[in-house]
Amino acid sequence: MDIQGVPKIGISSVVHSKHIDPNSIDVVDNDIALFDTESVTSLYNGPSKLEVVSIGLCLEGSTRFNISLREFELIPGRMVIALPNQIIEHRQFSANFRGIFFAVSKNLLESLPKVGNVLSFFFFLKDYPCFDLNLHEQEMIKEYHAFIRKRLRNKEDMYRREVVMGLMQGFFFELCNIFNSYAPDSSAVVKSKSRKEYIFERFYESLIQSYQSERSVKFYADQLCLTPKHLSGVVKEISGKTVGEWIDELVILEAKALLNSSSMNIQEIADRLNFANQSFFGKYFKHYTGMSPKEMVNDYGSDNGRFSSLGPAFYRTPERTRLNVSGVISK
């Protein structure tokens, strides 16, 4: 990794990757890519920042991977949904691992009627990205993947793109159904965006663009032509976190990813994240993590679990949905 930081993965980078046979990926413009096991094992070599919504279903074997530096495991019947701007890193694949994958641009998702309005998806999937599916749900995912790939390969079809877009909209509504059945208390109700939801999304988009250099509430309020107090109130109401907490979360995540995988030294990382000096960066980092940057590097190198502790999860039971520590939603 060079001084540019964590590399980004979008549809175009998937298609043009020198590590992947282009015949193993089916795409529509810069909006949709469907691929399988061989492609994904070649694609994620080291931490990468997603520019797409990535959906995967494990068919056989297993793989361990990090999403935003929290470790998860895919086993047969388990689905993962990773969001744009999350940092993903595959840690280990079993020899017999097989899976199917969808990658969809954020722009396309937002353009699909009603689907792009499901803000609760964002908050829930950010913490709980993995789902254990029943046999009917698994078959539904596989059928959509196979049929969409078949339509994508019919390049003589004049309305190929329109047909695929319709199928993708149906696929995402099916995902909404799965989401609602696993998390009824945080249901993905399809509705129009409120003014406050719109402000939060604009704030988050601005944050993603600028968090490496800007850490003041006033900066983001100015971008939206709001007062800092108004922006702070809206963000807290919609997300449950303050503007400052959102900023710090992304800065610390980026710092951890760079310390984890980068050839950059601590001073270069401090410069990359716009800290006045290495000392100030070290104090900021330790305040939020309880460790110095150097201790974090040593801790990760020892593989003792500080970076690989499994995230929280839900298990769906006949009686209720309940919290578990494995990072997976299951029955």
90 within 8 A of 46, measured Cβ to Cβ: no
User: In this structure, is residue 91 part of a structural domain?
Assistant: yes
Q: Are strands 63-67 and 313-316 parallel, antiparallel or unpaired?
A: unpaired
Boundary-marking domain end, from 148, 166, 186:
186
Which structural domain, as residue segments, surrounds residue 72? 8-186
Measured CA to CA, the distance from residue 223 to residue 206 in angstroms comes to 8
User: In this structure, is residue 71 part of a structural domain?
Assistant: yes
Do residues 106 and 170 both lie within one domain? yes
Do residues 127 and 49 both lie within one domain? yes
Query: How sure is the predictor about 183, in pLDDT bands with cuts at 50, 70 and 90?
Result: low
**Four-CA torsion 4, 34, 144, 328, nearest 10 degrees:** -40
More confident residue, 331 or 10: 10
Query: How sure is the predictor about 2, in pLDDT bands with cuts at 50, 70 and 90?
Result: very low
Residue 48, SS3?
strand
Do residues 174 and 200 both lie within one domain? no
Measured CA to CA, the distance from residue 101 to residue 79 in angstroms comes to 10
Long-range contacts of 204-210 (CB under 8 A, 24+ apart): 204/246, 207/246, 207/247, 207/250, 208/85, 208/250
More confident residue, 123 or 185: 123
User: In this structure, is residue 168 part of a structural domain?
Assistant: yes
Boundary-marking domain end, from 158, 186, 214:
186
Q: What is the pLDDT of residue 205?
A: 86
Question: Cβ-count burial of 327 within 10 angstroms (0-12 exposed, 13-18 middle, 19+ buried)?
Answer: buried
Looking up residue 86, the CATH number of its domain turns out to be 2.60.120.280
Measured CA to CA, the distance from residue 24 to residue 152 in angstroms comes to 12
What is the percent of the chain with per-residue pLDDT over 90, rounded to a whole number? 38
Residue 323, SS3?
strand
Looking up residue 231, the CATH number of its domain turns out to be 1.10.10.60
Do residues 108 and 63 both lie within one domain? yes
Measured CA to CA, the distance from residue 122 to residue 239 in angstroms comes to 10
Picking from 40-44, 71-75, 325-329, which range would have the lowest pLDDT averaged per residue?
Answer: 325-329
Closest CA to 201 of 83, 67, 82: 83
pLDDT tens readout for residues 55-67:
999 999 999 988 8
63 within 8 A of 21, measured Cβ to Cβ: no
pTM for the structure as a whole: 0.75
Long-range contacts of 153-160 (CB under 8 A, 24+ apart): 153/26, 160/28
Q: What is the pLDDT of residue 296?
A: 83
User: In this structure, is residue 327 part of a structural domain?
Assistant: no
8 pLDDT above the threshold of 90: no
What average pLDDT does this structure show over 39-53?
70
Do residues 35 and 145 both lie within one domain? yes
Do residues 151 and 73 both lie within one domain? yes
More confident residue, 179 or 96: 96
User: In this structure, is residue 296 part of a structural domain?
Assistant: no
**How many domains does one find in the chain?**
2
Closest CA to 111 of 159, 165, 164, 151: 165
- b (16+ CB within 10 A) / e for 59-97: bebbbbbbbbbbbbbbbbbbbbbbbbbbbbbbeebeeeb
Measured CA to CA, the distance from residue 251 to residue 235 in angstroms comes to 18
User: In this structure, is residue 298 part of a structural domain?
Assistant: no
List the alpha helices (DSSP H) in the chain: 11-15, 37-43, 106-111, 119-127, 135-152, 160-182, 195-210, 217-223, 228-239, 243-261, 266-272, 278-289, 293-302
* pLDDT, averaged across the chain: 80
Q: What is the pLDDT of residue 319?
A: 34
Do residues 58 and 89 both lie within one domain? yes
Boundary-marking domain end, from 186, 208, 225:
186
pLDDT tens readout for residues 271-319:
989 999 999 999 999 998 899 999 888 876 554 433 333 333 333 333 3
